[in-house]
Amino acid sequence: MELKNCVRVIENYPIEGISFKDITTLLLDPAAFKQVVDEISTYYMDKGITKVVSLESRGFIVGGAVAYCINAGFVPIRKKGKLPAAIFSESYELEYGVDSIEIHCDALTEDDVVLIHDDLLATGGTALAALNLVQQLNVKKVYLSFICDLTFLETEKKLELANYETHSVIQY
Protein backbone atom coordinates (compact mmCIF):
# COMPACT_ATOMS: atom_id res chain seq x y z
CA MET A 1 0.00 0.00 0.00
CA GLU A 2 1.30 3.47 -0.86
CA LEU A 3 1.07 5.07 2.59
CA LYS A 4 1.66 8.60 1.32
CA ASN A 5 -1.78 8.39 -0.31
CA CYS A 6 -3.30 7.80 3.14
CA VAL A 7 -1.99 11.10 4.57
CA ARG A 8 -4.27 14.10 4.11
CA VAL A 9 -2.52 17.36 3.21
CA ILE A 10 -4.15 20.54 4.49
CA GLU A 11 -2.84 23.74 2.95
CA ASN A 12 -2.29 26.87 5.04
CA TYR A 13 -2.79 25.10 8.38
CA PRO A 14 -2.19 26.04 11.15
CA ILE A 15 -0.97 29.25 9.53
CA GLU A 16 -0.58 30.62 6.00
CA GLY A 17 2.19 28.91 4.06
CA ILE A 18 2.23 25.62 6.00
CA SER A 19 1.29 22.44 4.15
CA PHE A 20 0.12 20.30 7.11
CA LYS A 21 0.51 16.52 6.86
CA ASP A 22 -2.47 15.04 8.72
CA ILE A 23 -1.84 11.39 9.69
CA THR A 24 -5.31 10.95 11.20
CA THR A 25 -6.55 9.75 7.81
CA LEU A 26 -3.81 7.10 7.78
CA LEU A 27 -4.87 5.98 11.26
CA LEU A 28 -8.48 5.55 10.05
CA ASP A 29 -7.39 2.79 7.68
CA PRO A 30 -6.68 -0.42 9.66
CA ALA A 31 -4.36 -1.80 6.95
CA ALA A 32 -2.36 1.45 6.72
CA PHE A 33 -2.13 1.78 10.51
CA LYS A 34 -0.94 -1.82 10.80
CA GLN A 35 1.58 -1.34 7.97
CA VAL A 36 3.13 1.68 9.72
CA VAL A 37 3.35 -0.06 13.11
CA ASP A 38 4.71 -3.25 11.54
CA GLU A 39 7.34 -1.42 9.47
CA ILE A 40 8.66 0.57 12.41
CA SER A 41 8.54 -2.43 14.77
CA THR A 42 10.34 -4.67 12.28
CA TYR A 43 13.03 -2.05 11.66
CA TYR A 44 13.79 -1.66 15.38
CA MET A 45 13.03 -5.19 16.65
CA ASP A 46 16.66 -6.30 16.99
CA LYS A 47 18.18 -3.03 18.25
CA GLY A 48 17.85 -3.85 21.97
CA ILE A 49 15.43 -1.00 22.62
CA THR A 50 14.19 -0.90 26.21
CA LYS A 51 12.02 2.24 26.04
CA VAL A 52 10.04 3.99 23.33
CA VAL A 53 9.81 7.72 24.05
CA SER A 54 6.98 9.41 22.15
CA LEU A 55 5.83 12.97 21.85
CA GLU A 56 2.38 14.33 22.62
CA SER A 57 0.03 13.74 21.06
CA ARG A 58 0.11 12.04 17.67
CA GLY A 59 3.42 10.36 18.50
CA PHE A 60 1.70 8.48 21.34
CA ILE A 61 -0.57 6.56 18.97
CA VAL A 62 2.07 4.69 16.98
CA GLY A 63 4.76 4.93 19.66
CA GLY A 64 2.65 2.98 22.15
CA ALA A 65 1.87 0.31 19.57
CA VAL A 66 5.54 0.00 18.61
CA ALA A 67 6.57 -0.28 22.28
CA TYR A 68 4.10 -3.13 22.68
CA CYS A 69 5.32 -4.90 19.51
CA ILE A 70 9.01 -4.74 20.43
CA ASN A 71 8.41 -5.51 24.12
CA ALA A 72 9.71 -2.16 25.37
CA GLY A 73 8.44 0.29 27.96
CA PHE A 74 6.68 3.48 26.92
CA VAL A 75 7.68 6.97 28.07
CA PRO A 76 5.56 10.00 27.20
CA ILE A 77 7.06 13.38 26.47
CA ARG A 78 4.29 15.84 27.24
CA LYS A 79 3.57 19.49 26.68
CA LYS A 80 4.39 21.88 29.51
CA GLY A 81 2.52 21.36 32.77
CA LYS A 82 1.04 17.91 32.02
CA LEU A 83 3.41 15.65 34.00
CA PRO A 84 2.82 15.34 37.77
CA ALA A 85 6.32 14.46 39.10
CA ALA A 86 9.77 16.07 38.83
CA ILE A 87 10.58 16.90 35.20
CA PHE A 88 13.23 18.08 32.77
CA SER A 89 11.96 20.71 30.33
CA GLU A 90 13.13 21.85 26.91
CA SER A 91 11.89 24.75 24.76
CA TYR A 92 12.07 24.65 20.97
CA GLU A 93 10.96 26.54 17.89
CA LEU A 94 8.24 25.31 15.55
CA GLU A 95 7.79 26.46 11.98
CA TYR A 96 5.05 28.69 13.40
CA GLY A 97 5.98 29.48 17.03
CA VAL A 98 7.70 28.35 20.22
CA ASP A 99 6.71 25.50 22.53
CA SER A 100 8.04 23.49 25.46
CA ILE A 101 8.09 19.76 26.23
CA GLU A 102 8.82 17.78 29.40
CA ILE A 103 9.86 14.32 30.56
CA HIS A 104 9.85 12.82 34.05
CA CYS A 105 13.33 12.90 35.62
CA ASP A 106 13.07 9.21 36.53
CA ALA A 107 11.68 7.97 33.19
CA LEU A 108 14.96 6.59 31.83
CA THR A 109 18.22 5.16 33.16
CA GLU A 110 21.77 4.88 31.87
CA ASP A 111 21.01 1.26 30.88
CA ASP A 112 18.18 2.23 28.53
CA VAL A 113 18.37 2.01 24.75
CA VAL A 114 15.79 4.52 23.56
CA LEU A 115 13.69 4.93 20.45
CA ILE A 116 12.33 8.47 20.16
CA HIS A 117 9.21 8.34 18.00
CA ASP A 118 7.05 11.13 16.60
CA ASP A 119 4.62 11.44 13.74
CA LEU A 120 6.53 14.03 11.70
CA LEU A 121 10.05 15.33 11.18
CA ALA A 122 9.84 18.83 9.71
CA THR A 123 12.51 21.35 10.74
CA GLY A 124 13.81 19.04 13.48
CA GLY A 125 13.04 21.39 16.37
CA THR A 126 10.74 19.02 18.24
CA ALA A 127 12.94 15.99 17.63
CA LEU A 128 16.06 17.85 18.77
CA ALA A 129 14.26 19.03 21.92
CA ALA A 130 13.21 15.43 22.66
CA LEU A 131 16.76 14.24 22.04
CA ASN A 132 18.10 16.90 24.42
CA LEU A 133 15.66 15.73 27.12
CA VAL A 134 16.61 12.08 26.67
CA GLN A 135 20.34 12.91 26.71
CA GLN A 136 19.90 14.62 30.11
CA LEU A 137 19.04 11.16 31.45
CA ASN A 138 22.36 9.70 30.19
CA VAL A 139 20.90 6.74 28.29
CA LYS A 140 23.08 4.15 26.59
CA LYS A 141 21.92 4.72 22.99
CA VAL A 142 19.24 6.64 21.06
CA TYR A 143 17.42 5.95 17.79
CA LEU A 144 14.87 8.19 16.04
CA SER A 145 11.67 7.17 14.25
CA PHE A 146 9.05 9.13 12.33
CA ILE A 147 6.00 8.32 10.26
CA CYS A 148 6.67 11.24 7.87
CA ASP A 149 9.87 13.11 7.06
CA LEU A 150 9.72 16.39 5.16
CA THR A 151 13.07 15.74 3.48
CA PHE A 152 12.79 18.92 1.42
CA LEU A 153 13.30 20.90 4.65
CA GLU A 154 17.04 20.87 5.22
CA THR A 155 17.86 22.65 8.46
CA GLU A 156 20.75 22.96 10.87
CA LYS A 157 18.68 21.14 13.49
CA LYS A 158 18.15 18.20 11.15
CA LEU A 159 21.91 18.06 10.58
CA GLU A 160 22.39 17.65 14.35
CA LEU A 161 20.05 14.65 14.23
CA ALA A 162 22.13 13.05 11.44
CA ASN A 163 24.48 11.57 14.06
CA TYR A 164 21.67 9.20 15.12
CA GLU A 165 20.18 6.28 13.23
CA THR A 166 16.87 7.58 11.94
CA HIS A 167 14.05 5.79 10.14
CA SER A 168 10.97 7.30 8.54
CA VAL A 169 8.17 5.44 6.79
CA ILE A 170 7.07 8.20 4.39
CA GLN A 171 9.29 10.87 2.79
CA TYR A 172 8.11 14.11 1.20
Distance CA 8, CA 117 (A): 20
Q: Which H or E element spans position 146?
A: strand 141-149
Class of domain 47-171: alpha beta
Q: pTM value?
A: 0.95
Known catalytic residues are 58, 95
Show me where the domains of the chain are located.
47-171
- pLDDT, tens digit (0-9, with 9 covering 90-100), for 100-138: 999 999 999 999 999 999 999 998 999 999 999 999 999
| Cβ atoms of 143 and 164 closer than 8 Å | yes
33 — pLDDT class (breaks 50, 70, 90):
very high
Q: Decide: helix, strand or coil at residue 44.
A: helix
Beta carbons within 10 angstroms of residue 10's beta carbon: 11
| Cβ atoms of 36 and 3 closer than 8 Å | yes
